[in-house]
Structure 1
Amino acid sequence: MDNIVLIFDFDQTIIDCDSDEWVVNELGIGELFRQLLPSMTWNTLMDTMMKELHAQGKTIENIVKCLRRVQLDAHIINAIKSAYAMGCDLRIVSDANLLFIETILKKHEVLDCFSEINTNPCYVDEDGRLRILPYNDHINSPHGCSLCPTNMCKGKIIERMKTKMASKTKGNQFIYLGDGKGDYCPSLKLNEGDHIMAKKDHPLFELISENSKLIKAEVHQWSNGEELERILIQLISNYQMSSSSTTSNGSSSLISMDCKLETLPMASHDQSSISQPVSVPH
């Protein structure tokens, strides 16, 4: 059977909040964060906020304890575990950072379901301060994409991922799940037969709706964890049945007639390894 690759955004997709904003608000520097936001890029601002927390005496343990309070919808947890059990390859492409993502996923016992996490790397320096680095060195090696923030082009990550996987397995099918403006560029990199699950009434959904002729993949809208689980598992099941049917009779339809999915009408160097691991306190 061909490989089914699920690519998840993290903030507002796997979790129903922004992990960066969660930390700065919960640890009492949300007002400063909002004051500095107009004058700094988001990635640089978050590194600055970690400096401020360190200056206030907050430790990595305080940050981790805060992150462990982030809730994960039971339907999202079940969708992740079910997709993994069904043999899918689950990956994350996120503009958050490695510590935040790994801490939350580990807390909810789904970290091991993901084969790869592409995100902004981070490390703890000699003073015990968390440093958050850009995924892409936009000064020495700019990615050149006008659609994406300077620190990360998710579209280029998807292109590298697809090229690398194509050399090993033919016929990979991609399902991309996201919500934000940064998820639009990777959506443009998907082909017919792929799927985009866009969170309704969020920037990705709106951008796709406004530029539907540019999208080749089939688009499905979802609003909450229950809808995400139902649609995702149905897509996986349909594809697996389709693959089995193709093997036996040479033809199949990817989406069966009784699959009641809401779809939008459409016109006809893996850098995860550079994300320096941060030891998460137990």
Structure 2
Amino acid sequence: MAGVVVVFDFDKTIVDCDSDNWVVDELGFTDIFNQLLPTMPWNSLMDRMMMELHSHGKTIDDIAQVLKRIPIHPRVVPAIKAAHALGCDLRIVSDANVFFIETILEHLGIRECFSEINTNPGYVNEEGRVSILPYHDFSKAPDGCSLCPPNMCKGLIIERIQDSILPEEKKRFIYLGDGSGDYCPSLRLKERDFVMPRKNFPLWDLICKDPLLIKAEIHEWNDGEDQERILLHLINKISNEESAHKKISVDCKLQTIAVAAHEAALPQVLKVHQ
């Protein structure tokens, strides 16, 4: 399905929890995290937590091993592999970070399924610890979005992806998410697109307040089994609609050719009768 772009949030959409909280809690740093939480933005806090982990002797491998144990519904990976096998362009837009996401995706064997990962930079620095930076440097200039956190406006990312696609490609989007940060990009989707909010999560609640603000078709999901079923159904629906459209186009062309051929032959027929 070269005509479909599937955009996934990561935390609580691909994996079944928040990867930041998972690492902090599993390595026993919840108390420090909770003490610092009121004092700084989340993105800055996570960089500080990586510093705390490093100073307390936690290694990169310790973090990686915890990430590899993160809970994920058993139907999510098959759904992603199926969508990729069908030719969909899969992308991630997440407020997690590159190190966490790529470590998990590579462990699951699905990193190659995604053409693009839009998230906060996260890498092992010269000190040998994970360093996490904001996707958008809000210390220099805010993104100006009242709906999103200062370090990342997912709506701007979706607009960039939309603008990168040629009009004649006529690609349709399926957006899957759960959090309040997924509301802004959902508002940027068009009428032929689809949004899949996780039911009873913040994105779902925001959409339910005024569904008419969303131009895209809304399909809620509960868990990974739901996600797989609905996602593949929508991909199949788009495929069938594209096939029908192509058939109509071919039929119209054949009809045009037939009419042109008939009109071209008509003078000869009249001449014979005369």
TM-score, normalised via structure 2 length: 0.89
Q: How does 1:146-225 map to 2 (within 5 A)?
A: 146-166=146-166, 170-225=169-224
Residue 116 of structure 1 corresponds to 116
One-letter amino acid of the counterpart of residue 46, structure 1: M
Q: Which runs of 5+ in 2 are unaligned?
A: 251-274
SS at match of 2:118: strand
Listed one character per residue, the Cα deviations across residues 139-191 of structure 1 (whole Å, up to 9, x for unaligned) are 22321101100000000000011101236x52110000000000000000001
SS at match of 2:93: strand
Q: How does 1:34-73 map to 2 (within 5 A)?
A: 34-73=34-73
CA distance in 2, matches of 1:123, 1:130: 5
SS at match of 1:74: coil
Listed one character per residue, the Cα deviations across residues 186-217 of structure 1 (whole Å, up to 9, x for unaligned) are 00000101000000000000000102121100
Listed one character per residue, the Cα deviations across residues 31-76 of structure 1 (whole Å, up to 9, x for unaligned) are 1112211221110000000000011011111111111111322211
Residue 269 of structure 1 corresponds to none
Residue 247 of structure 1 corresponds to 246
CA distance in 2, matches of 1:120, 1:97: 4
CA distance in 1, matches of 2:212, 2:241: 26
Identify which range, 102-111 or 151-160, moves more after superposition. Answer: 102-111
One-letter amino acid of the counterpart of residue 117, structure 1: I
CA distance in 2, matches of 1:93, 1:16: 16
Higher alpha-carbon Rg: 2
Listed one character per residue, the Cα deviations across residues 206-244 of structure 1 (whole Å, up to 9, x for unaligned) are 000102121100111100000000000000001101100
- Say whether residues 1:23 and 2:28 are aligned partners: no
Residue 233 of structure 1 corresponds to 232
One-letter amino acid of the counterpart of residue 142, structure 2: P
SS at match of 1:135: coil
- Per-residue deviation, 1:250: 5.0
One-letter amino acid of the counterpart of residue 156, structure 2: K
One-letter amino acid of the counterpart of residue 86, structure 2: M
For the aligned residue pairs, the C-alpha RMSD in angstroms reads 1.4
Retained in 2: the 8 A contact 1:184–1:204? yes
CA distance in 2, matches of 1:250, 1:234: 24
CA distance in 2, matches of 1:2, 1:114: 14
TM-score, normalised via structure 1 length: 0.86
One-letter amino acid of the counterpart of residue 201, structure 1: N
SS at match of 1:77: helix
CA distance in 2, matches of 1:208, 1:250: 36
CA distance in 1, matches of 2:2, 2:75: 26
CA distance in 1, matches of 2:179, 2:203: 5
One-letter amino acid of the counterpart of residue 138, structure 1: F
CA distance in 2, matches of 1:64, 1:10: 17
Looking at secondary structure, tell me which structure has more helix per residue.
2
One-letter amino acid of the counterpart of residue 218, structure 2: V
Residue 277 of structure 1 corresponds to none
CA distance in 2, matches of 1:142, 1:21: 25
SS at match of 1:222: coil
CA distance in 2, matches of 1:249, 1:76: 35
SS at match of 1:185: helix
CA distance in 2, matches of 1:230, 1:34: 38
Identify which range, 62-71 or 201-210, moves more after superposition. Answer: 62-71
Which aligned segments of 4 or more residues in structure 1 are displaced greater than 6 angstroms?
none
Retained in 2: the 8 A contact 1:2–1:243? no
- Structure with the greater relative contact order (CA < 8 A, sep ≥ 6): 1 or 2? 1
Residue 131 of structure 2 corresponds to 131
Residue 96 of structure 1 corresponds to 96
Retained in 1: the 8 A contact 2:26–2:66? yes
Retained in 2: the 8 A contact 1:197–1:220? yes
